[in-house]
Structure 1
Amino acid sequence: MIDIQSQNFSVTEAMKTHTEEKLQPMIRNYGDRIINVHVHLSDENGPKGGEAQHCLIHVELQKMPTVVIEDSEENLYAAIDNCCHRAERAVRKAMEKKQTLSRKPAEI
């Protein structure tokens, strides 16, 4: 269900574990409606430093648009944390919006 890929470096076991742990609340709460979660990690500037650590998350939902969240930070773990938190919030809002729309009576 969770696919983690990287560009310009190898994903360490610690990065993989950290990312999966940060995604667990979202999967625990909405896993029955999530098809796949794709995480793309990259280091845009390489050894030059700066706000170059990038995390991009695609959450594919059943019968709903894909949620796409991205964040860049100096620290990759901070980018992962921010992205995972924002992804969970976006998925929750999408679910709430779908519930609200399904409760409204059809307009004639």
Structure 2
Amino acid sequence: MTASSKIPDQTRNKSDQNRRKDNEMCDTTVQWPADVRVLREALRELNEEHEKMNLGDPPDTPIGEINARKRAWYRSRVEYLDAIKDLLFRRYQLDGIKKPKLPTLRTKHD
């Protein structure tokens, strides 16, 4: 036997440990409020729709129509994101969590 065959392979153990840590991190999920979950699901569907839209249109589709669909998609996406943000903000206000105050800059008075 050679000396190298007696040395245990530490890199494999480390990669297995890292893989386990990654799986543990994936298992921790955020519990979103029901309203936000519905909006997030709708946003996910909207993103899937956008991916399908990006796969390509028939060559005879007018540019104006393509751009109009993209603008409509973007507007609805922004509306969903704003609704999610508003619901989360409202929830945090109800829970009594206040936004931290930012430190104010002090000026020297001569």
| Range into which the TM-score falls when normalised by the shorter chain | 0.3 to 0.5
Larger Rg: 2
More strand by share: 1
* Greater length-normalized contact order (CA 8 Å, ≥ 6 residues apart): 2
Q: What TM-score, normalized to structure 1? A: 0.33
Q: What TM-score, normalized to structure 2? A: 0.33
